[in-house]
Amino acid sequence: MHSYFSSDFKLGILGGGQLGKMMLYDTRKYDIQTYVLDPSADAPSRIACNHFEQGDLMDYDTVLKFGQKVDVLTFEIELVNVDALEHLEKEGKKVYPSSSTLRVIQDKARQKNFYQNHDIPTASGTYFASAEAIQHASHSYPFVWKSTTGGYDGKGVMIIKSDADLHNIPNVPCIAEEMIPFKHELAVIVARNPSGEIKTYPVVEMEFHPEANQVEYVICPARIDDKVAQKARSVAMKVSEKLQHVGLLAVELFQTHDDEILVNEVAPRPHNSGHYSIEGSITNQFEQHIRAILDLPLGETASKIGAIMVNLVGAEDHTGDVHYRNIEEIMRLEGVTPHIYGKRQTRPFRKMGHVTIVNKDINKARSIAEKVKETIKVVAK
């Protein structure tokens, strides 16, 4: 058994954004040495790691050399060089989640095939190699267009309502996915360690912004029937077991009008839908990810209290040095904790922070969350 704590053990994290920064709250708690690689000189994680390197996460040599300096390597973003991760594994480095897990997840067409091959319920989808290929096919509208790689935060996803919409898509490999009329969008976070211990967090419900295609509120527990919640957790477990992933896996789901559960997509890392856990859960998602990749016993996933998370995103017509307007006002409200990620520059819809609202009564939390959303504004100075 390796001694991770207060020792010379080194944990490497590819990506130094807000997810890395929040993971580092917990490595600090445990006194685990951390190395972070990120392309930006002022990445949010810079202030909290032991050793920071600036470099391109998609560059083979950069990732390889970085990985050779650490004992266990993980990532907080999927857009990393998987060939380099595979090379490191062949050299005997521990990379969690593994390169093979990441290969499946990084490409949405591969991810879709994976669900279909393992009898995991999902919307049907068709792969197209280019914009031209999809423009020449016949479709029933509306459907969901997804680029197979590189999408995040509402980018790389479009609802296509007519032939005309098809002329606005970029020329990249993509999938056309059946549009599912759903009651709720849900998510379940699954933690799994190399020994095969596995735990799921309670189901959360996501309320979306109608225009930005970004989550406005994450609500835990989801306001759904117990039977549906059980089904959601068991579908998420199945995805995790088939992927044999290690670490955290966020499984995004649709609850259909007849209470079927369909997998939308997954992320192999701490996730926006789990931020509520910092204030709301016995073991927050970031600590759990660290426990899982280091093959430590997994922590208790139950909630201590009802929690709602509100994303703080850049105001629509603001670009420049960031200012958080009315932050003191929201801090006067009951059960409110802001998290500011430390990005100097704001731009429309960029994730700049989040706010958690906790309350024993989830409906009370929801009305306070609305007040938070109306009050705080992320603007340029």
185 assigned ligand-binding residue: yes
213 assigned ligand-binding residue: no
User: Can you spell out the DSSP letters for 202-271?
Assistant: PPEEEEE-TTT-SEEEEEES-SS-HHHHHHHHHHHHHHHHHHT--EEEEEEEEEETT--EEEEEEESS--
Rounded Cα gap, residues 255 and 232, in angstroms: 8
| Chain centroid offset of residue 55 CA | 22
Which residue(s) pair with 137 in the sheet? none
374 assigned ligand-binding residue: no
Measured CA distances, 328 to 239, 325, 353 (Å): 42, 8, 15
Closest Cα to residue 246, out of 96, 85, 75? 96
Rounded Cα gap, residues 223 and 219, in angstroms: 8
CB 142 within 8 A of CB 179: yes
146 assigned ligand-binding residue: yes
Measure CA of the first residue to CA of the last residue in the chain; give whole Å: 51
179 assigned ligand-binding residue: yes
Mapping DSSP onto H, E and C, the string for 76-128 reads CCCCCCHHHHHHHHHCCCEECCCHHHHHHHHCHHHHHHHHHHCCCCECCEEEE
Annotated binding site for ATP: 108, 146, 177-180, 185, 264-265
Annotated binding site: 108, 146, 177-180, 185, 264-265
